[in-house]
A and B are shown apart, each in its own frame.
Chain A
């Protein structure tokens, strides 16, 4: 190849080829740029809206805000469960910062020991990315501000203010109200209210027991949301308050309980184990339902340590058990009104006297009366007043179990009431049918079964609520009252307990039995005379003691259970109502393994609680403070020593009278 540039035509030819090809390059560039422009037009003009939506969903996030949980108040509006502000420390796993390192840094500002850090690290492993984990609750203001000042250096840490459930009355309502706790994996469901994403919020708490559990959905309220701008790492840039959806507070649940009565009831229980239930004899409202010993529900909100939980669970007096509803006990002598009503209904003449010599031979053994020396000849009124066992042994044997079971059921035994919260155990109401179907190893009803049935032992158990209902029904004297615990939810009144059919007993019979109860507490010879004096003038209390044995007395020389260990001591019971003329309140007291008599262990406590209930009632107070007409001292019969029948049985409530 020689020097090409000297050939003019050659050069021209090369130039021409280049020009044609450079036009092509220009065309290629132009076409390419036009294609880009077309693509831009497609994206930015035709599909702009779609991408704007995608951009907005990138840019904005809704952060769920847990709603303030609804209040729980007593019948007068006193707060039983509320929320208080809580400075929380949250750490989010963002895939960028090592949570372990963050915890070490945080340990300089808040107490976070090694064990706690390890526990949190395990929680971090379980938690998905970007879900915050609560590292500490209830920081002090100093800790909160110390962390907040350093927030810019720790982008995965937030210190914010949440709300935490608080029960101002500690243990008094623990069994009724229950408590809230962190959401477990088992709580989450695929559908329904427990599938909502708010449950994953570290500040969210779910109702675990009692009212908190039963009305959880009402109390929860409506989840709110904060519209926030986030960056690509999901970090919050700013809050668009205009786009926020406010959270709605949950509904207020109003209980029929009374905070003063409830607190006093827990107080008088002292260290004893048992239950006190107070019920309004006209409306059926429960004013008090206490189980003792109790526990501080606030600790459950925070989360119990294993040691704390074990201490509660292992204590033999069972603080976690609601003895008012879930503990069933033989009613003992408090059942004698039922036996008496059954006997009256079965046609047994109440004036017929049965001789009590302190024991009764039947079926090859001696059935002892609680009084060694015996009561002598007893009619039904005396037998109730003196709680004579021999009388009721024989009456029960004579009429058989089915009469007793019918009366017991009419008075509320063996029944779970719809009071809005779960957990009632129905107990046993024995009958021939029941024994045939339920007791596999011995399906026949033996006459001996009837004998102990008559004094509330054997095939009869009841919980504190049932005993209160029985007493309230007797006191009401007309209606088959149902208990009510929830007064209203979100302002909507719940059905009352007095829209019920009448009791299937004749008025005369009910009056008779009630007169017996009045004598128990107001005759000097009544079993609980001394312990039943309210000291409220003419406002008097009627009652019935009960002592239920938990061990067989066969071969036991000394029945006094003061010396045996706690688990073998007798249960002590007392049921009562007041005032005797126009019954307002019924009460049942169970002292589990009290080891004393019903009059000694249970009646004074019943009296104390009853006094509080009565003194809170404006009508009763008006009666007490009323200036009395100048008394003619000589004419006034001394209370309690009046002959039988001198204390008038309360007149039954007239139909239509407000209850």
Chain B
């Protein structure tokens, strides 16, 4: 297949051609990460596929196929569905407020008969799509600084406040940061960015004191001084740091991590799976996995920059920003640099919802890549 062949009219719309345009290096990197996750789950389950490793691989397989399928969807379909998806997500969040399931003090789940799911996850992709769709329709000047920016501000604020009210502070923060990332990528004025950062920093203490729930405030406090209560709330952070540190450079060996194998490490297969990895494979293994994450992020960013459409660029970069935030927040939490918030390590951690969200996002990114030359136009103005 040569470039000339690709440039033939209609050639790029052929499914086989689209298939070859998927970034397979990227796909392999995803498989490696998910495989590492399964490897660790196999270890902490006492060398058993049950109960986590098998299910993890199965889910990843399903999501991987889904990603490929989504990649073949025309970028214009994504474009057309951007606002509807966001709108449905917002409606579902409102619905959760009234009819949601309450589990462990938080109303996050919506029961739709055969399964229950968290609408906040839909919003993680929805916010990216909607903002990309919005910025696609306005000029660079308007994106930099104009009254139009009230709209993206409201688009971000609505789901963030709804999710924060559930309360699910981690997800709310992720949606807010993802939205902010898209707004910044679209070219927001540095003055506004600076002002926002300053006011956010100023608002944090007030938030901690007055807005946060008691358990959330406690988490923040323990984060600041984990040794103050080593068997209570500081336990997670301390045990995670012990797992990491005791791994040393080469690790304790596969299946030999005492912290994770003997249950000192909490959530060893979900939020703290990176600590399990660090204990058994040491700095060497961690560095390799972080390098894999870096490769995934940079390949995705490259995909974004290759897109001809502004919608495609912003959507791909927005998804990448979400993924990056996942990795950094979870990493910082596991390493004792951030409070314990329920943010898993994408692809490594056990858990279906996040896996699905992340892989749908990567489906969007691959769709942007496959359709990078496709012009996205809407003849009827910015909001159609």
- Are A25 and B249 closer than 8 Å at their CB atoms? no
- Are B283 and A58 closer than 8 Å at their CB atoms? no
Within 8 A of A (CB), among B116-137: 136-137
Contact of B294 among A1, A30, A48 (CB under 8 A): A30
Q: How many residues of A contact B (CB 8 A)?
A: 48
- Are A41 and B317 closer than 8 Å at their CB atoms? no
Q: Mark B358-384, 1 if CB is under 8 A from A, else 0.
A: 000000000000000001010101100
- Are B249 and A44 closer than 8 Å at their CB atoms? yes
- Supposing A15-B310, A59-B262 touch, asked if A36 and B245 sit within 8 A by C-beta, the answer is no
Separation of A10 and B248 alpha carbons in the complex (Å): 53
- Are A14 and B310 closer than 8 Å at their CB atoms? yes
- Are A14 and B294 closer than 8 Å at their CB atoms? no
- Are B185 and A22 closer than 8 Å at their CB atoms? yes
Contact stretch, chosen from B15-23, B75-83, B211-219, B327-335: B327-335
Q: How far is the CB of A236 from chain B (nearest CB, A)?
A: 11
Separation of A13 and B337 alpha carbons in the complex (Å): 38
- Supposing A18-B317, A33-B290, A231-B262 touch, asked if A40 and B324 sit within 8 A by C-beta, the answer is no
Instruction: State whether the Cβ of B313 lies closer than 8 Å to any Cβ in chain A.
Output: yes
Task: Look across to chain B and name the residue whose beta carbon is closest to the beta carbon of A30.
Answer: B294
Task: Look across to chain A and name the residue whose beta carbon is closest to the beta carbon of B382.
Answer: A1
Q: Mark A317-335, 1 if CB is under 8 A from B, else 0.
A: 0000000000000000000
Contact of A48 among B248, B290, B321 (CB under 8 A): B248
- Are A39 and B249 closer than 8 Å at their CB atoms? no
- Are A18 and B187 closer than 8 Å at their CB atoms? yes
- Are A22 and B304 closer than 8 Å at their CB atoms? yes
- Are B263 and A233 closer than 8 Å at their CB atoms? yes
Chain B residues with CB under 8 A of A1: 137-139, 142, 148, 381-382
Chain B residues with CB under 8 A of A10: 139-140
- Are A44 and B247 closer than 8 Å at their CB atoms? yes
- Are B245 and A51 closer than 8 Å at their CB atoms? yes
Task: Look across to chain A and name the residue whose beta carbon is closest to the beta carbon of B261.
Answer: A231
Q: Mark A47-59, 1 if CB is under 8 A from B, else 0.
A: 1101110111011
Chain B residues with CB under 8 A of A564: none
Contact stretch, chosen from B5-13, B107-115, B194-202, B236-244: B236-244
Separation of A41 and B304 alpha carbons in the complex (Å): 32
Instruction: State whether the Cβ of A556 lies closer than 8 Å to any Cβ in chain B.
Output: no
Separation of A48 and B287 alpha carbons in the complex (Å): 16
Number of A-B contacts (CB under 8 A): 170
- Are A15 and B185 closer than 8 Å at their CB atoms? no
- Are B324 and A32 closer than 8 Å at their CB atoms? yes
Instruction: State whether the Cβ of B314 lies closer than 8 Å to any Cβ in chain A.
Output: yes
Q: How far is the CB of B298 from chain A (nearest CB, A)?
A: 6
Q: How far is the CB of B41 from chain A (nearest CB, A)?
A: 18
Chain B residues with CB under 8 A of A309: none
Instruction: State whether the Cβ of B184 lies closer than 8 Å to any Cβ in chain A.
Output: yes
- Are B242 and A58 closer than 8 Å at their CB atoms? yes
Instruction: State whether the Cβ of B355 lies closer than 8 Å to any Cβ in chain A.
Output: no
- Are B245 and A47 closer than 8 Å at their CB atoms? yes
Instruction: State whether the Cβ of A633 lies closer than 8 Å to any Cβ in chain B.
Output: no
- Supposing A17-B187, A36-B331, A43-B335 touch, asked if A51 and B246 sit within 8 A by C-beta, the answer is yes
- Supposing A1-B382, A18-B310 touch, asked if A54 and B246 sit within 8 A by C-beta, the answer is yes
- Are B140 and A21 closer than 8 Å at their CB atoms? no
Chain B residues with CB under 8 A of A15: 310, 313
Chain A residues with CB under 8 A of B143: 14, 17
- Are A37 and B287 closer than 8 Å at their CB atoms? yes
Instruction: State whether the Cβ of A4 lies closer than 8 Å to any Cβ in chain B.
Output: yes
Separation of A40 and B259 alpha carbons in the complex (Å): 17
Separation of A14 and B317 alpha carbons in the complex (Å): 14
- Are B283 and A41 closer than 8 Å at their CB atoms? yes
Chain B residues with CB under 8 A of A59: 258-259, 262, 264
Instruction: State whether the Cβ of B36 lies closer than 8 Å to any Cβ in chain A.
Output: no
Instruction: State whether the Cβ of A3 lies closer than 8 Å to any Cβ in chain B.
Output: yes
Instruction: State whether the Cβ of B163 lies closer than 8 Å to any Cβ in chain A.
Output: no
Instruction: State whether the Cβ of B176 lies closer than 8 Å to any Cβ in chain A.
Output: no
Instruction: State whether the Cβ of B286 lies closer than 8 Å to any Cβ in chain A.
Output: yes
Chain B residues with CB under 8 A of A43: 241, 244-245, 335
Separation of A17 and B142 alpha carbons in the complex (Å): 12
- Are B248 and A52 closer than 8 Å at their CB atoms? yes
Question: Does more than half of chain A's interface fall in helix, strand or loop, or is it mixed?
Answer: helix
Separation of A36 and B332 alpha carbons in the complex (Å): 7
Chain A residues with CB under 8 A of B245: 43-44, 47-48, 50-52, 54-55
Chain A residues with CB under 8 A of B136: 5
Instruction: State whether the Cβ of B297 lies closer than 8 Å to any Cβ in chain A.
Output: yes
Instruction: State whether the Cβ of B278 lies closer than 8 Å to any Cβ in chain A.
Output: yes
Instruction: State whether the Cβ of B43 lies closer than 8 Å to any Cβ in chain A.
Output: no
Separation of A209 and B379 alpha carbons in the complex (Å): 104
Instruction: State whether the Cβ of B226 lies closer than 8 Å to any Cβ in chain A.
Output: no
Instruction: State whether the Cβ of B186 lies closer than 8 Å to any Cβ in chain A.
Output: yes
Instruction: State whether the Cβ of A646 lies closer than 8 Å to any Cβ in chain B.
Output: no
- Are A229 and B278 closer than 8 Å at their CB atoms? no
Chain B residues with CB under 8 A of A55: 242-243, 245-246, 258-259
Within 8 A of B (CB), among A427-468: none
Separation of A56 and B297 alpha carbons in the complex (Å): 37
Q: How far is the CB of A51 from chain B (nearest CB, A)?
A: 2
Chain B residues with CB under 8 A of A237: 262
- Are A3 and B381 closer than 8 Å at their CB atoms? yes
Instruction: State whether the Cβ of A654 lies closer than 8 Å to any Cβ in chain B.
Output: no
Instruction: State whether the Cβ of A630 lies closer than 8 Å to any Cβ in chain B.
Output: no
Task: Look across to chain B and name the residue whose beta carbon is closest to the beta carbon of A5.
Answer: B377
Instruction: State whether the Cβ of A26 lies closer than 8 Å to any Cβ in chain B.
Output: yes
Contact of A232 among B244, B262, B331 (CB under 8 A): B262
By CB atoms of chain B within 10 A, which of A25, A26, A44 has the most?
A44
Separation of A51 and B240 alpha carbons in the complex (Å): 10
Chain A residues with CB under 8 A of B140: 10, 13-14, 17
Separation of A29 and B354 alpha carbons in the complex (Å): 20
Chain B residues with CB under 8 A of A109: none
Task: Look across to chain A and name the residue whose beta carbon is closest to the beta carbon of B144.
Answer: A17
Separation of A41 and B143 alpha carbons in the complex (Å): 41
Q: How far is the CB of A421 from chain B (nearest CB, A)?
A: 46
Instruction: State whether the Cβ of A19 lies closer than 8 Å to any Cβ in chain B.
Output: yes
Instruction: State whether the Cβ of A230 lies closer than 8 Å to any Cβ in chain B.
Output: yes
- Supposing A14-B187, A21-B184 touch, asked if A44 and B244 sit within 8 A by C-beta, the answer is yes
Instruction: State whether the Cβ of B357 lies closer than 8 Å to any Cβ in chain A.
Output: no
23 cross-chain CB contacts under 8 A: A1-B138, A3-B381, A11-B310, A13-B140, A17-B144, A18-B187, A21-B184, A25-B301, A25-B321, A26-B298, A29-B294, A33-B297, A37-B287, A40-B283, A40-B287, A44-B247, A44-B248, A45-B283, A51-B242, A52-B248, A54-B242, A55-B258, A58-B239
Shortest beta-carbon contacts, A-B, top 8: A51-B245, A55-B246, A17-B187, A232-B263, A231-B262, A48-B248, A44-B283, A59-B258
Residues of A within 8 A of B (CB): 1, 3-5, 7, 10-11, 13-15, 17-19, 21-22, 24-26, 28-30, 32-33, 35-37, 39-41, 43-45, 47-48, 50-52, 54-56, 58-59, 229-233, 237
**12 additional A-B residue pairs with CB within 8 Å, beyond A10-B140, A48-B246, A229-B258:** A22-B301, A22-B313, A29-B294, A29-B320, A29-B324, A33-B294, A36-B290, A39-B335, A40-B278, A40-B283, A44-B249, A58-B258
